[in-house]
Structure 1
Amino acid sequence: MKEQDINAAFGTLTPEFMLDALDAAGLHGDGRMLQLNSYENRVLQVHLEDGPKFGGVAVAKFYRPGRWSDAQILEEHAFAADLAEAEVPVAAPWMLGDSTLRHDGGQRFAVTGRQGGRGPELEDPKVLTWIGRLLGRLHNVGAQKPFEHRMRWASAEPGIVARDWLLANESIPLEIQAAWTSTVDQCLATIQQAFDAIPDLQTLRLHGDCHPGNILWTPDKGPHFVDLDDAVTGPAIQDLWMLLSGDALSIRQQLACVLEGYETVREFDRRELALIEPLRTLRMIHHSAWLARRWSDPAFPLAFPWFGTPNYWNDEVVKLKEQLDAMGTSPPAPQAPVDDDYVFWDA
């Protein structure tokens, strides 16, 4: 089946179908359900009839067909199980029969228990430090064994794949294609140079998409991770840089807090700081291809109406040129906190 046909069919996946699939797996809803926000997959929260037995509320994730193989999904699940065994707070999939991955009516799904919480207050240095400690613990587990089937984010390769797909599928307006391609090619060369500059770069199993939306916070237990769907092999900095935002001073301060926590449980190779802007650039190129690949899913034109227009691609050229400049500058050096009040010196 063509990708556009898969997207269109997946876009019509109904809550009724998902409830029937859960029922067939022995998870019987009591009538209360909520479809959760997710562009890539379809996610349903269901209150169960035999709630106490299964933790009360199930969260079922139906995987988009054609994106991951069974082997890649099961590696994600095994990583979550390893983290849970090490008491790293994460939502690990339940066993459904003899596997954590179930097939029903051509769809694949997994189920976890609901883990509540709110977004972390990243302006609080102590919150950032706590998240840093948690990431260090996650990486300690991630370093124990390798992924065999998941993607690698340790070179320009993901960007090359994205560029080639966009060009092969004529996703870029012809009048902008030359400027976009030239700029992307320069970015990819610079990204590869940045990785090559660290020849003994350590890679490990990562969360892979560790932005604030994938971290939930509870006052008594602190942060926990959700959604390992984008787990990859890569350098540790891939899980750190998406927590940083704002101007250069803010980023240095935030990074100092994250690393203060991280380095209490795991060593961090400071050379990886030079990969922050290359990884950001790689994500930008990859994101454009992701949107283009999903455009035949009815949810995407509604959520991203600005995508694919000449203005969008012209803006991307401008942003990527800015990234070329950013990749040519020194990485942000974290400034150590002076005292318990987290006062920073701007060196």
Structure 2
Amino acid sequence: MHLALDDGGGAGSGGWLALSMPNETPYARLTPDLVLDAITACGLWPDGRLLALNSYENRVWQVGLEEARPVIAKFYRPGRWSDAAILEEHTFAQELADAELPVVAPRPFAGRTLLHHDGYRYALSPRHGGRAPSLESADQLEWLGRLIARMHTVGAHDSFTHRGRIDRDTSIAQPMQAVLACALLPPGMHDRYRQAVERIDRLVAMRFEAVGPVRTLRLHGDCHPGNVLWTDEGPHFVDLDDARMGPAVQDLWMLAHDERAMDALLEGYTSMRDFDHAELALIPALRAMRQVHYAGWIAARWHDPAFPAAFPFAAEPRWWEQHITDLHEQADEFE
């Protein structure tokens, strides 16, 4: 059984996030004792059991409680989101839960979901277990399609003000600058890397222009298989940390490994909500944006000690050589 956890743009996901670099070691003071003290400050009684969950962007712990089910404590990366942006995430999660969608929403304490302790911001949510979905199953894909359609119906009721949107600046320009400013990319590759990313940027702009205006709405934003947990009762979604404004197809394409899978997702989706099939032409652009962003995310976070340990390959010139090759191959797919 897997646990509900925050992926936070981690390995294999890339995330859609602001690439700020405010602190050299943002979690240096986040000791187990501080975590337990933060839980106690909410009026809960930890039993001393702590399990660090697989998260890089934020820090997430499963905390055992005396005579109660464990909770998930998510400590937000300092400087990434404003309080207002985090509260928009919480509000959206609660709207989805109120609509009886299987989404894990933060738990309020004294009417507040965004909590503060000793300089850290955090939120607590119920622990929900589950396993990875079977993306080979048409039935499961149709089920997911229906749930995403319902999520989008709720998401379309309002707009994010503080969380931004999926666009070329945050997904291409900022990540490129982060890579060029770090010491990971060998100096001799700077020009080739810049040329590859600029080619991607040009093609992405052309593809969005060719598709024309598409409706944007509040999205999960990082709806990959690691953020869907399946139980005997069905799936539930976790980790709205990358929720943004964007086109509906963003929450579908990462779950579809081929055309058959996308057909199954859309079979479920369109049974609940209309879908603009013109958005399918955006998938190569969205995939390329994510690929650029992934490298920029690692570069921007390299000062965090967790990143060299988790992504040692990024310190190897051969990985950047392959990354540049991959960007050109990605561009070839939709040039």
Same topology, TM > 0.5: yes
Amino acid at match of 1:8: T
Question: 5+ residue gaps in structure 1?
Answer: 246-250, 329-347
Aligned sequence identity (%): 48
Higher RCO (CA-CA < 8 Å; seq separation 6+): 2
**SS of alignment partner, residue 235 of structure 2:** strand
TM-score normalized by the length of structure 2: 0.90
* 1:97 and 2:114 correspond: no
Long gaps (5+) in structure 2: 1-19
Q: Is the 8 A contact 1:154 1:203 kept in 2?
A: no
Task: Give the drift of 1:32.
Answer: 2.7
Taking the aligned partners of 1:238 and 1:5, their CA distance within structure 2 comes to 29
User: Could you tell me how far apart the structure 2 residues matched to 1:169 and 1:39 are?
Assistant: 19
Residue 217 (1) aligns with residue 224 (2): no
Decide whether the 8 Å contact of 1:91 with 1:226 is kept in 2.
Answer: yes
Instruction: Report which stretch shifted further, 204-213 or 157-166.
Output: 157-166
> For 1:264 and 1:11, how far apart are their aligned partners in 2?
49
Contact 1:15-1:35 within 8 A present in 2 as well? no
The structure 2 residue matched to 1:45, chosen from 62, 83, 87, is: 62
Per-residue CA distance 1:71-112 (angstroms, 9 max, x = gap): 111110000011001011111011122311011111000010
| 1:223-248 Cα shifts (integer Å, max 9, x gaps) | 11001011111001111111122xxx
- In 2, the alpha carbon distance for the partners of 1:154 and 1:295 equals 23
Per the alignment, do residues 11 and 196 of structure 1 end up closer, same or farther by CA in structure 2, a change over 3 Å counting? farther
> Counterpart in 1 of 2:12?
none
Deviations 1:263-294 (A, max 9, x none): 11111111111111110110111111110111
**1:240 paired to 2:252:** yes
Deviates more, 1:160-169 or 1:207-216: 160-169
In the alignment, the residues of structure 2 paired with residue 211 and residue 183 of structure 1 have an alpha-carbon distance, to the nearest angstrom, of: 26
Q: Does 1:27 align with 2:40?
A: no
Normalised TM-score (structure 1):
0.87
What SS class does the counterpart of residue 27 from structure 2 fall into?
A: helix
For residues 124 and 42 of structure 2, the distance between their equivalents in structure 1, rounded to whole angstroms, comes to 10
Aligned partners of 1:147 and 1:205 also within 8 Å: yes
Q: Does 1:285 align with 2:292?
A: yes
State whether residues 166 and 289 of structure 1, in contact with CA within 8 Å, keep that contact through their aligned partners in structure 2: yes
Amino acid at match of 1:67: R
In the alignment, which residue of structure 1 is the partner of 2:10?
A: none
* Whole-angstrom CA distance in 1 between matches of 2:319 and 2:248: 31
Which of 166, 191, 197 is 1:153 aligned to?
Answer: 166
SS at match of 2:123: strand
Aligned residues: 316
Q: Does 1:273 align with 2:290?
A: no
- Residues 1-347 of structure 1 aligned to structure 2 (within 5 Å): 6-11=23-28, 13-51=30-68, 56-155=69-168, 157-169=170-182, 171-219=184-232, 221-245=233-257, 251-328=258-335
**Deviations for 1:293-329, whole angstroms, at most 9, x for unmatched residues?**
111211111111101321111111100000111123x
Counterpart of 1:298, as a letter, is P
Letter aligned with residue 236 of structure 2: H
User: How far has the Cα of 1:11 moved from its partner?
Assistant: 4.9
Q: Which moved more, 1:197-206 or 1:170-179?
A: 170-179
| 8 Å Cα contact 1:156/1:191 also seen in 2 | no
Report SS of the residue matched to 1:46.
strand
Label 1:151 to 1:25 Cα distance change in 2 as closer, same or farther (>3 A): same
| Amino acid aligned to 1:145 | D
What is the one-letter code of the residue matched to 1:130? W
CA contact (8 A) 2:22 2:78 kept: no
Looking at structure 2, the residues matched to 166 and 13 of structure 1 have their Cα atoms a distance apart, in angstroms, of 27
Distance 1:66 1:311 in 2: 32
Q: Which secondary structure state, in structure 2, belongs to the residue aligned with residue 325 of structure 1?
A: helix
CA RMSD in angstroms comes to 1.6
Structure number, greater radius of gyration:
1
- Please name the residue that 2:3 is paired with: none
